[in-house]
Amino acid sequence: MVFRSKDKKFSVEIVLPIRMEMEAYASVAYRQETGGILIGNYDQGQSLASIKQITGPTSDSRGSFSWFERGTRGLKKLLDENWERGFYYLGEWHFHPFNSPTPSGQDIQQMQDIAKSTIYKCPEPILIIIGGSEEHFQLRAFVSIGSKKLIELYAANTDYDDNLVQQS
């Protein structure tokens, strides 16, 4: 499945096994938020990000029904190993249990912080949010650009709506 911005400047590819892995983590978490990082690479034109791997929550992650704080234990080693294979940090994913996959103010702020951080080296991080429950998961994709906005990326076969999510 490919998600694309209205202007086609940003695209992200999520293959079915990766989506199923995210949904499996969400199913296990049930009523708790959970998440992890996205690892992959870009095409030669830098317009299509391909997610090749995700992580689940690290052992030092914390969460509840309405919030999630991703830990970092083991991620540096994993990212170093992937860097040698040509894959790197692309962004974050997380689960909103029994809720819509709409970014919260905290989600937006986190993505802006990541975009500005020299540690992440990811000026346009991707955010994937899964919402709902095991009976019906919904997935939305975003890219953080600029100082106060997320751009929604739409499934390539859908119509475009207003694709700007502003922080209030």
Q: Report the catalytic residues.
A: 33
Local structure of residue 48 (DSSP, 8 states): E
Structure tokens at 66: 């309405």
Evaluate whether 78 touches 38 at the Cβ level (below 8 Å).
no
- Spatial separation of the C-alpha atoms in residues 146 and 123, rounded to whole Å: 9
Can you spell out the DSSP letters for 63-117?
Answer: E-SS-EE---TTHHHHHHHHHHTT-EEEEEEEEEETS--PPPHHHHHHHHHHHH-
- Spatial separation of the C-alpha atoms in residues 105 and 54, rounded to whole Å: 23
Neighbours of 26 (CB within 10 A): 26
